[in-house]
Amino acid sequence: MNEAPVSCLPNASKMSKAKKVIEEARDTHNPEVDLVDKGVSSFDELPGLLNMQHLTRITLSHNKLRSVPASLANLFNLEILNLSNNNIEELPMSLSSMPKLRILNLSLNKLYELPRGFGAFPMLEVLDLTYNNLKETSLPGNFFIMETLRALYLGDNDFECIPAEIKNLKNLQILVLRENDIIELPKEVGELPRLRELHLQGNRLTILPPEIGSLDYTQKSAFKFEGNDWVPPIADQLKLGVSHLLDFLRSESYRVIYKRYMEHKPTPPPPCCDKAKKTSRVRQYPQTKPKSAF
């Protein structure tokens, strides 16, 4: 019995549904376009989309996109852009010129670097870069000038350190750095006055700068420190709770401990996992739909 040949072309049924969604949005002047899991591998397969300047929200998650056209920036009314779970390897410089963009989800892609000028977003509030291949050298010089940013998701990347310029994100409320290779946290994180969520799980941290104790911790806060190789004084305080840890970081005794540790810094712990096996580095389309930050 002969088997049917396998086609490399996009699923015709999904493609026709994508075109129908675009046509309906154009005809009804619907400001939101939902193109989740439509088998889209290129914006060329979405005729007319980039001319619909009335759009305020585009969702293109769980597709097969590899790049984003510069002309996407022509959609000057766009407020929410979700490109999560694709195969995007590069972004256009023009993306950061979008005047009304508030939420940008680029999680679960294959980004190794961000374009020059990426920090120029005038209105961006939420930026999700979870599960890519980014590190400190991937960030452009103006990355930390986004004064409107409230939430920054950098989890599941390859950062070993975070630039001190992070202190410039004065409106930041959520900072997610979990599952990287971070060896040392900059003291400037303690200068973020509105920070209410700090996720540091699964890194290579051993000690925290005393300035982290300046963060405002309440019952509504979410500070996560598990999965690091903490020095015994920090590990002991964490067993009692985050509030105990922050009190300890503010103490004079801890400042002495910290100073001595930094004078004789030991070799940092080795990486806890093989990043070469990350899905974001495998040249194949994701088969599942991992949970995104939003």
Token duo for residue 195: 């920070």
Which residues partner with 153 through β-bridges? 128, 176
Cα–Cα distance for residue pair 43/65, rounded to 1 Å? 8
Residue 286's pLDDT is 42
Helix (H) or strand (E) holding 24: helix 12-28
For the sheet with 174-176, list strands across it.
Answer: 32-34, 57-59, 80-82, 103-105, 126-128, 151-153, 174-176, 197-199, 222-224
Helix (H/G/I), strand (E/B), else coil: 21: helix
Backbone angles phi, psi at 149, to 5 degrees: -65, 130
**CB neighbours of 47 closer than 8 A, spacing ≥ 6?**
19, 22
Cα–Cα distance for residue pair 72/81, rounded to 1 Å? 10
Residue 59's pLDDT is 98
Residue 15's pLDDT is 63
Helix (H/G/I), strand (E/B), else coil: 103: strand
Of 133, 65, 146, 144, the closest CA to residue 98 belongs to: 146
Cα–Cα distance for residue pair 99/121, rounded to 1 Å? 7
Residues 275 and 281: beta-carbon distance below 8 Å? yes
For the chain, what is the radius of gyration of the CA atoms?
22
Which residues partner with 174 through β-bridges? 151, 197
Backbone angles phi, psi at 209, to 5 degrees: -65, 145
Positions of the chain with pLDDT lower than 70, given as ranges: 1-15, 277-279, 281-294
Residues 172 and 196: beta-carbon distance below 8 Å? no
Helix (H/G/I), strand (E/B), else coil: 214: helix
